[in-house]
Amino acid sequence: MTKAPDPYCALVLQPAFKNVRSRAEIMENIENVSLLIDIAVWMAETELPIRLIAIPEGVLQGFADEIFDMKHSDYLKTIAIDIPGPEVAMLARKAKQYNTYIVCQARGTDNKIKGYYFNWAFVIDPNGEVIHKAAKHQVYYKEPSTTPH
């Protein structure tokens, strides 16, 4: 019989973020969410360890492709990230620091399909590794990211 996991706490964050126009601006959003993680863990980890932190869609990059009606090729060149990559590495440090999983979303590339970006959900484990990545299958009609189908 499989042993049930020890009790834990999960955090769902809802930070403010900006719609970025370049990859460099993503770091500002990540710095803000990293500070929020620090504060939320400090406040919430009183009785149970935090083992899961969920960060909602849009927090890293905003919705610039939709709001600014960007061409797919322009967004790919200026904002889409690699997962894993430098931006994800900052969140990976938080996962390691707090020995927790982090679930996040970003619009990023796929090295198997050049010239397109996808709306990815991904999971970072407590070792700082991306252990799961899945592309959004149904996108909002104004969302120019690619879908797997």
Q: How far apart are CA 20 and CA 60, in angstroms?
A: 9
Model confidence at 142: pLDDT above 60:
no
Percent of the chain's residues with pLDDT above 70? 91
Model confidence at 137: pLDDT above 80:
no
Q: How far apart are CA 113 and CA 39, in angstroms?
A: 38
Q: How far apart are CA 88 and CA 110, in angstroms?
A: 15
Measured at the alpha carbon of residue 126, what is the angle toward residues 84 and 97, in degrees to the nearest 5? Answer: 100
Model confidence at 149: pLDDT above 60:
no
pLDDT in tens, 38-93: 999 999 888 899 999 999 999 999 998 888 888 889 999 999 999 999 999 999 99
